[in-house]
Amino acid sequence: MSARHGLRRVVDGRGLREFLSLTDRVYAGEPRFVPPSRQQVRRWWRDGVPMYVLRDGATGAVVGRTTLHTDAALDAKLGRRCQLFGLTEFTGAAAQPLFEAITTAARAAGDRDALFGPVALLPNQAGGVITSGYADRGFIDSAWNPPRYVSAYESYGFRRRFESDTWICPVPAGDDVPAGTDPDGAELTVHRGDVRRLADQLELLRGMLNASFAQLGYYTEISAAQLRRQTDGLAYLLDESLLLYLTRAGRPVAFVLCVPDISEFVVRVRGDLNLVNQVRLLATRRRYRREAVLIVKGVLPEHQGRGYQRLLSAALRRNLHAGGYTTLRSTYVGRDNPASAAQYRALGGRPLHGYTFYEKAL
């Protein structure tokens, strides 16, 4: 394969369609790969996120794709200026030409210290590469890739960062979770989601999320605008009983957000969640209320270690069982976070996919 054409930025609708359709060829006949929402990718493109394709020099066919973007907050968190890349896919022969083109572009920028990715658009949003568990399918908000991706990154000199695991757990019967009190007499109350108040509840969760994740090495604060973009369309998907938060003396201190796992539907429509497909999903949503995905959970730092997450997990387990769910998957949990992993093990869970991001000095 010749890469003499190098990376070409997507500048029109035709280029964007080619960018999106690459995964239809790379993962043809592969139901384990769950594509990102095409609507989300189009929104990022309209917002100015730089997207590129790599063409085969002989045929002109698109054989690789990536974003090339930066984020000042992540640079400050990591302590170096990173050229971020994401939505990165490639055919077998295109890996080295694509990585070389990404490296050349980053060096040409002149102010970058390292490559970091794949992230879409940040590691606390989506991205990553799975490093084990290839026999198990992926799921929404998580990665799936063949083993050759790991070989490609590591043979090109990338090193692993923020190694993690996704998890899968059975859903056992749960006991009722009574209202409780702390030893000091403060009242503890579990609240559930309400689609009519979803915007207010998500803003409440955003404050707890930013505070409880601030100590993680990859996490950058999520703004209100970012949260709106990330949760756009959540209302039609939400199972209110799977969005829970705990208050202590009326103050929110812990939270958990799960959603029904619609991965099989997303695969079927190749990531195209247009209005017609959203209506189809709504009409058949009961079909996707057997498995769920835990998107995020957390406890305010000053309240960690008091058993609040265990209390919320018990409430979640009860609601999952009552709703007929049989399986819970979790997005990645860092291997440096044994407390979260212990909660999944207590449910009879196991690691599903090894997970990593990659970094390479420039």
Residues 44-99: pLDDT tens digits?
999 999 999 999 988 899 999 999 999 999 999 999 999 999 999 999 999 999 99
d(CA 275, CA 307): 42
**Whether 153 contacts 358, CB under 8 Å:** yes
Strands 114-117, 327-334: pairing is: unpaired
For the beta carbon of residue 349, count every other beta carbon within 10 angstroms: 18
Residue pointed to by tokens 């690691």: 351
Q: Is the pLDDT of residue 299 over 70?
A: yes
Q: Confidence band (pLDDT; 50, 70, 90) for 227?
A: confident
Domains for the chain: give ranges and CATH numbers: 6-165 (3.40.630.30), 172-325 (3.40.630.30)
Closest to 150 measured CA to CA, from 84, 95, 226, 80: 95
Phi-psi category of 303—alpha, beta or left, where left has phi over 0 and alpha has psi -120 to 50? Answer: alpha
What pTM value is reported for the model?
0.92
3-state secondary structure of 296: strand
Quick check: helix, strand or coil at residue 171?
Answer: coil
Q: pLDDT-based confidence at 2, cuts 50/70/90?
A: very low
Tell me the pLDDT of the chain averaged across its residues.
Answer: 91
Question: Over 70: is that where the pLDDT of 4 sits?
Answer: no
